[in-house]
C-alpha cells in the first residue's frame, strides 16, 4: 500500500480518503479484495473513525463495497460506472474548454504547454509512470483557468472509476496517443477555437474505450460481468 504524507490543511478523514483513492487507482488495493477497517487505519497510523468515514464515502460512489462484520472490498470494475464517469466529465469539460479559449492568458498557456512538454519528455524516455498524474493536472489546469474548481471537485468524486481504467491502460496498451491529444487541445486553445477544442476533448475523453478489450483480457478477474 502506498503511504502518502498528510497535508497541513486536510482532516484525517480527507487524508484517509485521498490515500484510499490513490491506492485503488494504482491497483495497490486490488478489485475484489477484502480489507479490514482496523488494519487500514493501523497502516496509516489513524483511529478507526476517519477510516470508517472514508470507506463510507467511497461506498456511496460504488468504488468500495462494505460488508458488516466482514470488512470492505474494493469494487470490481463496472464499465457502466466507468461510462457514467466519462459522461459527466465530457459534459463539463467540453464547456470548460470553450470558456478557457475565451479567457486564457499567455502565462496560463505557458503552464499548459509546460505540462504537455513534460508528458512528451516522459513518453519519449519510456517512463510512463508520471503520465497519469500529468494528464490529470492538465485537465485540472483547465478548470483552474475557467475558475470552476467546485466543478472540478464534483467531477473528481466520480471519475475514480474512469481513472482506475486509465491507469490500467498505461500498462496494457502501447498506444499512448492521449499525449498528442493534449497537444492538439492546447493548439486549439492557443487559436481560441472553442468548437475545435470541445470536439478534441470529446474524442480524448472517450479514449478509454480503445483499451477496453486489452484490459478485459489482461485483468479478467477485476471486471464485473
Measured between alpha carbons, how far apart are the two ends of the chain, in Å? 27
pLDDT at 210: 79
pLDDT for the residue numbered 212: 87
Q: Return the C-alpha cell found at 156.
A: 473528481
Q: With a cut of 90, say whether residue 169 has pLDDT above it.
A: no
Q: What is the pLDDT of residues 203-214, one digit of tens each?
A: 999 887 878 888
The three cell numbers of residue 208 are: 478509454
Answer yes or no: are the C-beta atoms of 150 and 80 closer than 8 Å.
no
pLDDT in tens, 26-64: 999 999 999 999 999 999 999 999 999 999 999 999 999
CA dihedral 188, 180, 172, 22 (to 10 degrees): -60
Yes or no: say if 89 and 205 are a contact pair by the CB < 8 Å rule: yes
pLDDT in the model for residue 99: 98
Q: Determine contact, residues 186/135, Cβ cutoff 8 Å.
A: no
pLDDT tens digits, residue range 144-155? 999 999 999 989
**pLDDT category, 1, cuts 50, 70, 90?**
confident
Domains observed in the chain: 12-74 (1.10.10.10), 79-222 (1.20.120.530)
What is the band of 180 on the pLDDT scale with cuts at 50, 70, 90? Answer: very high
Q: pLDDT (tens digit, 9 = 90+) per residue, 62-115?
A: 999 999 888 999 999 999 999 999 999 999 999 999 999 999 999 999 999 999
pLDDT of the residue at 225: 84
Q: What is the CA radius of gyration of the chain?
A: 18
Amino acid at each position: 500500500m502506498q503511504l502518502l504524507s498528510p497535508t497541513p490543511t486536510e482532516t484525517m478523514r480527507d487524508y484517509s480518503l485521498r490515500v484510499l483513492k490513490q491506492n485503488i487507482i494504482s491497483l495497490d488495493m486490488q478489485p475484489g479484495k477484502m480489507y479490514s477497517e482496523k488494519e487500514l487505519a493501523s497502516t496509516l497510523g489513524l483511529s478507526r473513525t476517519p477510516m470508517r468515514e472514508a470507506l463510507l464515502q467511497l461506498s456511496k460512489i460504488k468504488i468500495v463495497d462494505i460488508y458488516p462484520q466482514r470488512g470492505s472490498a474494493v469494487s470490481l470494475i463496472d464499465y457502466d460506472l466507468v461510462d457514467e464517469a466519462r459522461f459527466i466529465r465530457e459534459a463539463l469539460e467540453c464547456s470548460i474548454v470553450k470558456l478557457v479559449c475565451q479567457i486564457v492568458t499567455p502565462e496560463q498557456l505557458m503552464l499548459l504547454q509546460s505540462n504537455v512538454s513534460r508528458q512528451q519528455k516522459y513518453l519519449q524516455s519510456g517512463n510512463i509512470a508520471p503520465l497519469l498524474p500529468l494528464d490529470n493536472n492538465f485537465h485540472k489546469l483547465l478548470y483552474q483557468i475557467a475558475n470552476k474548481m467546485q466543478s472540478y471537485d464534483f467531477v473528481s468524486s466520480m471519475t475514480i472509476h474512469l481513472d482506475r481504467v486509465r491507469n490500467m491502460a498505461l500498462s496494457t496498451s502501447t498506444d499512448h496517443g492521449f499525449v498528442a491529444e493534449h497537444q492538439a487541445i492546447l493548439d486549439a486553445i492557443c487559436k481560441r477555437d472553442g468548437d475545435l477544442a470541445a470536439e478534441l476533448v470529446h474524442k480524448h475523453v472517450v479514449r478509454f474505450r480503445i483499451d477496453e478489450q486489452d484490459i478485459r483480457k489482461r485483468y479478467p478477474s477485476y471486471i464485473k460481468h
